[in-house]
Amino acid sequence: MFGTVVQQQREYFSSGETLPVESRIKALKKLKGSIEQNEKGILEALYRDLRKSETEAYSSEVALVMAEIEHAMRGVAKWAKPTRVKTPRMHFPGKSFIYPEPVGVALILSPWNYPFQLLLAPLVGAIAAGNCAVLKPSEYAPHVSSATAELIRGNFGEEYIAVVEGGVEVAEALLQEKFDHIFFTGSTAVGKIVMNAASRHLTPVTLELGGKSPCVVWDDAKLEIASKRIVWGKFLNAGQTCVAPDYVLVHKDIREGFVNALIEAMKSFYGPSAQYCKDYARIINGKHFERLVGYLNDGRVVFGGMYDESDLYIAPTLLDSVNESSAVMQDEIFGPILPILEVETIDEAIDRIQSKPKPLALYLFTNDPGIQDLMLRRTSTGGVCINDTISHMVGTYLPFGGVGESGFGSYHGKAGFDCFSHNKSVLKKGFLFDTKLRYPPYNVELRKLRKLLKLLLK
């Protein structure tokens, strides 16, 4: 169905047009300029799909893409250069190099929760690395999908960067084609489908998934600051963020004070009713709305709990008295509901985290270096924020990605370039030396061979 597009891109890639660093920088500049020119339409599309305020839409979507572009423009000339590495003595007088090369034609499948950022940030890495790309925006954010398609089609030929819009059937058809890399952001369940499809062609994949990202608040935490940072991270985009704190494990001695601090922060941010706050987003569609409302019965509502189906509105909500076996503690919530559970010891908190699949993020609020070190050593997560939430993924210097069921592979900054590159190993030798020892018949004793190779392989 999309074989023609893929073939066109293969031919264009084979022509070598995408390889020069100057061409990559030119494409990045064009992408940056087109975003600047279409910024108003992009922000309007984000509001129509998710009711994101202009401030939230720009800071969490557009600004992050622009930072990626600018960082790549500054760094790509250096990133693309071959790197010389050490050479074993046995290859003297040879030289060893690592040559980064583009993988070819990439497929980028994006989700609906940050539909602009999570489509174009990977694209920046693909362009910087010298690839062609096919983009599939989410059909659940139709206005952003349309605006992004218009932006790309107005500035790039389909043989270089193509946008394919549509629903599940379109994604399935694309996955039938042979790509050189597939980059998918979305749920773990769909990630398994993508990986299975990629296996038919042995196509490498990057999976940016999700999971239940825990937040641990210890008894020495500054509650006023911690509560603000947790409320901000949790209820940004109405909780529809893959790295949002999914549940809180709070030390029992500060539970009451912590909950009160959370409530005060929520009132301060969103006023008496978040439904009338211009900075509070909406649930993407009715299907997700119904799923989230069902979670409200899995515990006792401490604060919030109101909802309006006609407006796809669910209030920022705190739950306690939650059972570990309930759906809200088994599924990734991906909405504005925050369960709060008590723990007595840091070992108990670690055990609870370890009992679940490896999450995309972990948040720890404490100034105790011993507890920080213990948590970092004994838990495995995609990324960690200490005394903050979400901020570890904002920037171009830390790779962002998951581990285990939360995904694998990473991007942002140079990691995005590496994601869409193959590091080709190159050994250069001349004809000056050619020892007979390497060729049969072998007449050297094993005892002497051990000593010789120990020396030569250094």
- Mean of the pLDDT values across residues 181-196? 96
At 449 the pLDDT is 76
Q: Of all residues in the chain, what percent carry a pLDDT higher than 70?
A: 100
At 455 the pLDDT is 84
At 444 the pLDDT is 82
At 206 the pLDDT is 98
At 433 the pLDDT is 82
Lowest mean pLDDT among 82-91, 244-253, 399-408, 421-430: 82-91
* CA 215 – CA 383 distance, rounded (Å): 12
At 16 the pLDDT is 97
- Mean of the pLDDT values across residues 354-376? 97
- Mean of the pLDDT values across residues 16-20? 97
Structural domains of the chain ordered from first start: 3-209+408-422 (3.40.605.10), 214-401 (3.40.309.10)
pLDDT score of 423 more than 80: yes
Number of CB atoms found within 10 A of residue 202's CB: 7
Q: Annotated catalytic sites, by residue?
A: 208, 242
At 89 the pLDDT is 85
pLDDT score of 124 more than 80: yes
* CA 138 – CA 49 distance, rounded (Å): 11
pLDDT tens-digit readout, 51-84: 999 999 999 999 999 999 999 999 999 999 999 9
Q: Of all residues in the chain, what percent carry a pLDDT higher than 90?
A: 91
At 269 the pLDDT is 97
At 458 the pLDDT is 84
* CA 417 – CA 429 distance, rounded (Å): 29
At 194 the pLDDT is 97
Helical packing angle, 255-270 and 223-235, nearest 10°: 60
Q: What is the residue-averaged pLDDT of the chain?
A: 96
* CA 120 – CA 110 distance, rounded (Å): 9
Question: How does residue 400 score in pLDDT terms, banded at 50, 70 and 90?
Answer: very high
